[in-house]
Amino acid sequence: MIRMLTAYTREIDDIEVAVAEIMEQLKCGDRLCRHAVGILAFHPDFLETGAVKAISDALPFASIGGTTSAVAVPGSMGDLMLSVTVLTSDDVRFVAGASAPIASDPLAPVRDLYARLVPSLLEKPSLLLTIAPVIKHVGGDDFVRAIDMVSGGVPLFGSLAFTHLLDLSGIETWGDGERHTDALTLVALFGEVNPEFHLTTIPDERTIHQKATITKAEKNQIQSINGMTPLNYLESIGLAQNGHVTALPAIPFVLTLSDGSQVVRTVYSTTEEGAILAFGDTPQGSVVGFADVDADFVIKTTSETIAGTIAVKAENILVFSCAGRRWTLGVRTEGEIEKIVQHFDKLCSFMFAYSGGEICPVRNRQGDLVNRFHNFSMISCML
């Protein structure tokens, strides 16, 4: 059995006060089981003042974490905030660490990290948790593929770190007691965990016009849809005008992959040649449906996620939501996070943070659980 403890602080400058607040709320001496690990989520300013390091150093167990644009735990929510989520258990072990710097292909650094965390081939983790960096030319799918390759497909749940800035600056991860701009962090859980996963999706009725086929693509770059340049295709369905895409940086679309599983992607930019760039892989041959979403849709799917997690009756819940969903809320910026807090605050122990990309297993056509990278999604892991 896993117990989840949470704590938070808004104190950025007075490090001693920040550490004291966290330790007082956690009460580690009274509540820790034999094994424990920490997950930190924080505004970038907590890194700059040294608060993250001081809090991490004070914890009597290893921790990972990353920047985010907003966070919530029982009792509090907000932007300028740091949260600590502790997973602790007598019968589940936790091993955590950070990879070497990742320049392009993450496979070698991920393989080395996994070998350090899982040195024996005789024991396989039951679950992996990750906070991954945002690196140019390295997508979320690259991280998922690398971890799948070294782990043999152990269920993987987590997030790409993020910030409140649209230029994607200031994004960092935390692991091995240090801050990183280019390192992936990982927690391996050993023992009987039996996690339940919940993923929001964009239903067919939210897609615009008929679905189309990606006829040419390379990694996260769509070069042709139904034989047309993507820009021309978007103009044909009203999402672009006079050579410019409307509603950037987040136009969500649903991809149906060759194995029948679905993932959500977002358009965040275009090239001079008329191709569109997404935050994750867009395989050639996939069926694509561009979606019509608004603030009401975001709030509705948040309620569906809450209903799904309540149905499982989980005591501990980790939740990540795409920052694009928050942008879609417009002036109702806090609408989603407020609803999460309202429903979970007295129901269970939880952690919520905004994400630059969500990593969560889904079922394929055969019913097998496969790890996938998502955008414009809300994901939850119930322990």
Query: What's the pLDDT at 203?
Result: 76
214 vs 28, 233, 372, CA distance in Å? 52, 11, 19
The full set of domain ranges for the chain reads 3-199+299-382, 204-290
Query: What's the pLDDT at 166?
Result: 67
Residues with pLDDT less than 50, the chain:
none
CA distance 172 to 156: 20
Query: What's the pLDDT at 314?
Result: 78
Residue-wise pLDDT tens digits, 126-171: 999 999 999 877 889 999 999 999 999 999 999 999 997 766 778 9
Share of the chain above pLDDT 70, in %: 97
Whether pTM exceeds 0.75:
yes
CA distance 176 to 97: 5
